[in-house]
């Protein structure tokens, strides 16, 4: 197969050539779709991580990026020189041409995309936008490498603490801290109520927020670790805050933020997806959106897990429900402080679902399409949840899979723009989804002549 970028300079101009997303029909091939839009079939396959041209799935959504400005590499040219000529950054070029990182070589004659056409007239929202992502230290490097060039912040999950204020450190974080530093990505320390046994404990939260001395010790240890490891910010991710500790939690965040600010560190706080002040349930009652929004520099609204491991089959983040959460969030917190949490995964349920007995299997979004191709399934799209799904049968048992594709991601990006949110935060970066990062980059694009910021 030719390299992914081959043929971009031979692009044909079409009246409808700015369409970004194409849904596969019966009989389509990567070559036929590419020919219809005048783009490189190799790049179409690369961008969408298609295994081979015969593995397209009816109903599959493909990202089609139409180059607007391209550059053919001349002998002796470097990325720095090319970027300067177009008034963009080297990072901008890498984001538009991620295969550069795969090969590590810039060859004479290669065609680089300097800028893609926006999807529609008026699209291409103000850049920069904040794009953060969580990762575990045991992540696979090649997968993280696909997302890292697009990130604003890398949230390392996670540090815990003991009841004497000592930090419980994640093993193996050094490689990711170094990669983030090299690529200019903010390194963010994530603090959770993780215990020495490796479990999350709400009693740990209660003990901390009601003990000023424990807070002081933990805060000092955090400051020392952040300086030692080169972290640039702190993220607090406490779930199941006991309702009785609602106010104490806010006061803990206030004192912690004051100390962090004095040392030059911003603080973000992860919030469960509420839709009202008085929403019932242990997950919600201990979280005061308004008060936390006043204290924190930014918040991440974890708008996912409607469909979850032990629940019935449904979209992980149905857009109608996500919109309700955002409506509430912006009524309590300045939109410019809010990052929308986005899931980078789906679930596979065996049917029939049995409450208390069924357990869904987590899978990646690209993996879901591969599964649909292997089982001969057709992908459907729910017009209320604005999420894709499909059924398949294996070993005599029917399954249902809900996942994300570029259609569902595009709707979230539009939601971010419509509400004027600060940006997005992905849970998590552990599974590949190249088309997603390219779509983000094309949606919140940098105009040549401006810097990426």
- Cβ distance 69 to 31 under 8 Å? no
With H, G, I as helix, E, B as strand and everything else as coil, classify residue 261: helix
Which letter does DSSP use for residue 11 in this model?
A: P
Question: How far is residue 208's CA from residue 285's CA, in Å, rounded to a whole number?
Answer: 18
The dihedral region occupied by 381, where left means phi > 0, alpha psi between -120 and 50, and beta the remainder, is beta
Strand partners, 380: 389
Q: How many CB atoms lie within 10 A of CB 184?
A: 13
Q: What whole-number distance in Å separates Cα of residue 107 and Cα of residue 281?
A: 58
Instruction: Count the neighbouring beta carbons within 10 Å of the beta carbon of residue 327.
Output: 11
How far apart CA 79 and CA 238 sit, in angstroms, is 42
**Is-catalytic flag, 239?**
yes
Q: How far apart are CA 81 and CA 269, in angstroms?
A: 40
CA distance 242 to 60: 43
Which member of 53, 239, 251, 411 is catalytic? 239
- φ, ψ for residue 65, nearest 5 deg: -100, 125
Helices (H), 38-157: 41-47, 79-86, 90-96, 99-103, 141-147
Tell me the Cα Rg of the chain. Answer: 23
Tell me the CA distances in angstroms from 375 to 247, 394, 444, one per residue in order.
52, 8, 35
Question: Which residues touch 247 (CB under 8 Å, ≥6 apart)?
Answer: 288, 291
Strands 21-23 and 61-63: antiparallel
Question: Please, what is the angle between helix 406-419 and helix 434-443, to 10°?
Answer: 30
Beta bridge partners of 130: 423
Q: Are 284 and 243 in contact (CB under 8 A)?
A: no
Active site residues: 239
């Amino acid at each position: 197969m030719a390299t992914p970028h081959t043929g971009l300079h031979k692009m044909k101009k079409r009246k409808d050539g700015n369409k970004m997303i194409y849904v596969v029909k019966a009989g389509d091939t990567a070559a036929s779709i590419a020919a219809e839009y005048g783009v490189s079939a190799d790049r179409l396959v690369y961008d969408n991580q298609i295994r081979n041209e015969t593995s397209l799935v009816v109903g599959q959504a493909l990202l089609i990026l139409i180059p607007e400005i391209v550059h053919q590499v001349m002998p002796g040219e470097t990325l720095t020189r090319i970027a300067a000529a177009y008034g963009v950054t080297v990072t901008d070029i890498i984001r538009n041409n991620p295969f550069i990182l795969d090969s590590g070589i810039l060859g004479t004659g290669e065609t680089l995309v300097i800028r893609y056409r926006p999807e529609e007239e008026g699209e291409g929202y103000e850049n920069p936008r904040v794009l953060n992502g969580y990762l575990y230290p045991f992540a696979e490097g090649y997968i993280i490498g696909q997302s890292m060039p697009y990130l604003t912040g890398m949230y390392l999950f996670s540090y815990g603490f003991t009841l004497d204020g000592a930090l419980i450190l994640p093993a193996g974080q050094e490689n990711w801290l170094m990669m983030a530093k090299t690529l200019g990505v903010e390194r963010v320390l994530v603090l959770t109520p993780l215990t020495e046994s490796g479990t999350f404990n709400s009693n740990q939260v209660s003990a901390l927020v009601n003990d000023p001395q424990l807070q002081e010790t933990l805060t000092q240890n955090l400051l020392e670790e952040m300086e030692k490891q080169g972290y640039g910010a702190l993220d607090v991710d406490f779930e199941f805050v006991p309702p009785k500790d609602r106010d104490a939690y806010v006061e803990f965040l206030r004192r912690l933020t004051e100390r962090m600010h004095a040392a030059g560190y911003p603080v973000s706080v992860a919030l469960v997806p509420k839709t009202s002040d008085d929403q019932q349930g242990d997950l919600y009652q201990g979280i005061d959106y308004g008060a936390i929004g006043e204290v924190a520099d930014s918040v991440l609204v974890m708008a996912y897990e409607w469909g979850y491991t032990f629940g019935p089959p449904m979209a992980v983040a149905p857009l109608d429900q996500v919109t309700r959460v955002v409506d509430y969030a912006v009524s309590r917190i300045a939109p410019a402080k809010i990052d929308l949490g986005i899931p980078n995964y789906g679930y596979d349920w065996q049917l029939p679902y049995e409450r208390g007995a069924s357990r869904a299997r987590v899978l990646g979004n690209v993996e879901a399409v591969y599964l649909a191709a292997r089982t001969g399934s057709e992908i459907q799209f729910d017009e209320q949840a604005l999420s894709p799904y499909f059924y398949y049968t294996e070993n005599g048992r029917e399954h249902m899979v809900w996942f994300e594709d570029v259609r569902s991601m595009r709707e979230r990006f539009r939601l971010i723009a419509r509400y004027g949110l600060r940006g997005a935060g992905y849970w998590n970066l552990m599974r590949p989804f190249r088309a997603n990062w390219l779509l983000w980059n094309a949606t919140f694009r940098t105009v040549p002549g401006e810097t990426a910021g």
